[in-house]
Amino acid sequence: MSSSNVPKRSYGVDVSSYQSENTNYPNAKFVFVKVTEGTGYINPKASAQIRSAKSHDQLVAGYFYANHSSSVAKAKAEAKYAVTKAKALGVPLGSYIADDFEQGDGNYVYESASANTDAVLAAMSVIKEAGYKPLVYANASVLRNNLSVSRFVKNFGTCLWMASYKISGRQDHADFNYFPPMDGVAIWQFADNYRGCDVDGNINLVDLKISSDNHQAKSVKKSAESLSQHPVVRWDIGAVAVVSNSKGAYVYTDSKLTKRESDKLKPQGSLWQVFEIKDGAICVGKNQYMDGRAVYIKANPIAYNSDKHAVAKIVFDHTHALDAPKSDANKVYPLKLGSKVEIQGRVGRFLRIKEEYHGKTVYVTGNRAYIVL
């Protein structure tokens, strides 16, 4: 089972098809696996490398090699392709996905820094909406000259994966006397030949964590929140089914409930997104149904009516109230993790908060504050 928490100043590696399927490198506590490039390439070793990392108790993350240059549309498409394949290949939700933005092999970094940053931010937003933590990878020169570091930090906090080598060749340890000063660096790639293993060497400057509450998908592990009568979900999930039967519930492959998906019961308290109700059965996925008598259903009115009032719970640390319903809005004041706020409706994916700051209405982005049902 892979690690979900790696303390700062730990060593890690990043791998692609050029490396072995075995990720058991010396002292490597985390592994970034290349999953895709553009919208047509999948690393053929990715699945094996992800399995290897998990078997060696390494935190598993992913990255895609950008071909989008300064195109926002291409960046979104490539990020969507990457997160879809990352999920299928086994990169855990709540982990990290990086946009690898470097010159060559289909990518051009010498457009304006503003246009490049627009594209990468668009990709990072797709990554975040999919339930992963977004990073941008680039060398120090590209970050300084061809991207806007301040905009990344403003939108995503400590989210830079910076490459900068003291020498080209074998390095066994990171020399912080050489570390280039820069805000927002989460991971420093300090070597292109870590310990002579022909693999990039990295060191994390912040704790790396896989957060299971990072995403409300079809199924969520049992928790105090999901066992309660008031689970929390993203604003765009219209309804959920919570398993209420003390013995759990089966999932069936047909709405008549005649064919079980497996003989394993889903535990009481597990949370499932509702897609439709058919023949009295609850559809929770493609060809997946639950007996309506084994669950209770909670609806999310704000998903259908943007003028509805509700209560939202802050599910991410470093969340702020914003002065406008847009991704590049100014931060007004911090909102404490786990706190609840009353909302007066939403504007797109932004929730309008009842509390006013110096007479001005403020907002919180809907992927950081989940609706309490």
* Cα-to-chain-centroid distance, residue 152: 15
Half-sphere exposure of 146 (CA within 13 A, CB side): 20
Neighbours of 298 (CB within 10 A): 19
Q: What is the amino acid identity at position 346?
A: R
Q: What is the amino acid identity at position 48?
A: A
What is the strand order of the sheet 288-291 is part of? Answer: 276-278, 281-285, 288-291
The residues that are catalytic are: 14, 102
Task: Rounding to the nearest 10 degrees, give the CA dihedral for residues 288, 292, 296, 300.
Answer: 60
Half-sphere exposure of 137 (CA within 13 A, CB side): 24
Which residue in 326, 332, 331, 366 sits closest to 346, CA to CA?
A: 366
Name, in order, each residue with C-beta under 8 angstroms of 25's C-beta and a sequence gap of 6 or more: 13, 194, 195, 197, 199
Is 227 exposed, middle or buried, given 0-12, 13-18 or 19+ CB atoms closer than 10 A?
Answer: middle
Q: What is the DSSP letter of 358?
A: T
Which residue in 88, 124, 87, 96 sits closest to 31, CA to CA?
A: 96
Contact 355, 362 (CB under 8 A): yes
Which residue in 135, 140, 206, 136 sits closest to 179, CA to CA?
A: 140
* List of E strands, 90-173: 96-100, 133-139, 160-163, 170-171
Instruction: Report the alpha-carbon distance of residue 97 to residue 250 in Å, rounded.
Output: 33
- What DSSP string describes 161-203? EEE--SSSSEESS--TTTPPP-TTEEEEEEESEETTSSSEEEE
